[in-house]
A and B are shown apart, each in its own frame.
Chain A
Amino acid sequence: MIAHPILMAIGMADLLGLGLILSAGWIAGDVLLHSNPDGRDRRQIALEARSERGGLEARWGAGLFAFSTLLLVIAVTRILPELIPGAMCGTGVFQAMQGAGFRAFALRFITLLLLYLWHLLDRLNRTSPRGPLTETCARMLLIALPGAVLGIFDTFKAVSLLDLERPVDCCAALYDRFGNGNSLPFWENIPDAFWMGGFMATGILLIAAGIWSFLRPGRKSAALLAIFSLIWPFAAAGALIQVLSAYHYQVLSHPCPWCLFLPEHWRVGFFLFAALLGGMAAGTAALLSIIVGQRYPAIREPARIMSRRASGWVVLLSILFIIGASFPALLWRLRHGVWIGG
């Protein structure tokens, strides 16, 4: 366990956020069990007031959870590699965390996506005076709640495994995989051309679906956008790590996502991965808005506007990602006349 201030800040933000999300979750459970919007008895009126308070708590809780996740990314990419012997980037830190780190990150990002969708529903709910989505919001919050609990638990577990005395071998973790071809994960064997083809094809389809959904927001266009916005991050991240990262690092091959967060590479990883995750969240939000808007006429128009806005964000973020990820490759090609792999 390392008692670094950033880890303490993460712990504090996590505990505060979790407390608020649990309290909001308790209220959400009460809403689902006891809400009767047609009644005007004491319990219902009190529940309506508590439900508004619960929404506020969940907003603050989600904000703190997002903030602590950002701090965790900063800690893993910038601060902990300097403390853990042998670690040069997040890869070494994850090695030191012995698997719990990956689980914590995965759970945190899934939870953030769910909390973002809750936030979207909550915003839509608040566009109508009687809050027709109150119960839907309560359900979504309860879906996100276990992810928050487990994500925070795994973060504590991962951080407690960090040891300043036990060295790691950052690059060995990366390159040892190539030493024994049999143990390579399947994506390491996929040819570069396939990655780049998938990246460009899904990118073009995503942007086209985004423009369609922006110009004509509807269930079909939003569904297509949501599908591509869920496929695209995998294709794009694969192309970035397996092919394009070499141009960022200016070496023949270095398939490490974490080095993109280092200052010598302009910390471009923050921007690129934020664009990917943001695009994925916005694409899902575009579809969710349309679905709830069609189900609840009171919020149809704000839902349509929100879906349109989310579609616009997908287009913008994917274009920014493409530019940010491929610019060093194009620059290399213009300077040297060949691609890095020949």
Chain B
Amino acid sequence: MSEGIFCRDLELVRRGSRDQERTIFTDVNADFPAGNITLITGPAGSGKSSLLYILAGLIRPTRGEVLDGEEAVSRWLTPHRDLWRKGVGIVFQHFQLFADLTAEKNVMIPLLPKKWPYRRIRNRANEALERLSAGHLSQMPVHLLSGGERQRVAVARALAADPAILLADEPTAHQDPEGMKIVMDVFAEARDRARVVVIAAHDPRIAGIADRHYRFIDGRLVHDRSPESQG
């Protein structure tokens, strides 16, 4: 189980053609301890999603490192980082579901590397869907689902393997108040099981349950300690 993930001097610079480059963020130092929900907010294009991708080991920062406990996982060789990523669940902003597969099969995908018996994988996937009140959608192809339903399937997929680190990019953007409560209850449960939970969002409703709050301001991540930002 992870003690938490920690960013040290992170910087992300995107390069275009003809020496064009854009600094997305710089000098990011942040702690995401286990047993906490950490919220990251900031304007569009401030680098919230990119930071989540770096925390998930999907992209490399251009400077600095991400530590899992004391190990600089962002600098690990790719095969080791890929193995570490098995302990990370991520909810993408645009879901990244397989549109032609059923909700159940989408949720089963991250469980396949565990090499469990098929029945166990299937049961686990259905349990995750049930927790998101999406059990009735399990046999529906994803392309027939609404945006909110797809989002809950995406959350179920991220949770199915019971990851030590749960990262979510705008996980409630398509949720009505009822759906929002279901999703946030699931994140709260993960926090209570000492998981690292990091949410990047615009949604002000999330601030209520977050334990820690970081805000992107002008390419820097600032720890917001104001009382209204703390849950």
Q: Residues of A with Cβ closer than 8 Å to B? A: 40-42, 45-46, 48-49, 52, 125-126, 128-131
Contact = CB atoms under 8 A, between A and B. Distances in A.
Contacts of B77: 52, 125-126, 128-131
13 contacts: A40-B8, A40-B64, A40-B65, A41-B63, A42-B63, A45-B61, A45-B62, A46-B62, A125-B77, A128-B77, A130-B72, A130-B75, A130-B77
A128 B80 CA distance: 8
Contacts of A126: 77, 79
Contacts of B73: 129
A136 B221 CA distance: 38
Contact of A129 (B11, B13, B80): B80
A130 B13 CA distance: 23
A125 B78 CA distance: 12
Interface residues of B, number: 20
Contacts of B60: 45, 49
A42 B62 contact: yes
B9 interface: yes
B63 A129 contact: no
Interface string B93-129: 0000000000000000000000000000000000000
A64 B217 CA distance: 50
Which of B61, B65, B77 has its CB near the most chain A CB atoms (within 10 A)? Answer: B77
A45 B80 contact: no
B192 interface: no
B71 interface: yes
A46 B8 CA distance: 16
Contacts, number: 40
A129 B65 CA distance: 14
Shortest beta-carbon contacts, A-B, top 7 = A129-B80, A129-B76, A42-B63, A40-B65, A131-B77, A40-B64, A42-B62
Interface string B52-93: 000000001111110000011101111111000000000000
Contacts of A129: 71, 73, 76-77, 80-81
Contact of A45 (B63, B71, B78, B81): B63
Contacts of A46: 62
A129 B85 CA distance: 13
A40 B63 contact: yes
Contacts of A125: 77
Contacts of B11: 42
Interface in B1-60: 8-9, 11, 13, 60
Contacts of A52: 77-78
A130 B77 CA distance: 6
B87 to A, nearest CB: 14
A242 B61 CA distance: 62
A215 B11 CA distance: 50
Contacts of A42: 11, 13, 62-63
Given A45-B62, A129-B77, 4 more contacts: A40-B72, A42-B11, A126-B77, A130-B76
B86 to A, nearest CB: 14
B126 to A, nearest CB: 35
A22 B60 CA distance: 25
A40 B8 CA distance: 9
B194 to A, nearest CB: 24
Contacts of A49: 60
Contacts of B64: 40, 45
A210 to B, nearest CB: 30
Contacts of B78: 52
Contacts of B79: 126
A40 B76 contact: no
Contacts of A40: 8-9, 63-65, 72, 75
Contacts of B80: 128-129
A109 to B, nearest CB: 30
A24 to B, nearest CB: 16
Nearest to A42: B63
A128 B76 CA distance: 9
B201 to A, nearest CB: 28
Nearest to A56: B78
A48 B64 CA distance: 12
Contacts of A128: 77, 80
Contacts of B63: 40-42, 45
A48 B75 contact: yes
Nearest to B80: A129
Contacts of A41: 63
Contacts of A45: 60-65, 75
A65 B79 CA distance: 25
Nearest to B76: A129
A289 B59 CA distance: 32
A52 B63 CA distance: 17
A122 to B, nearest CB: 10
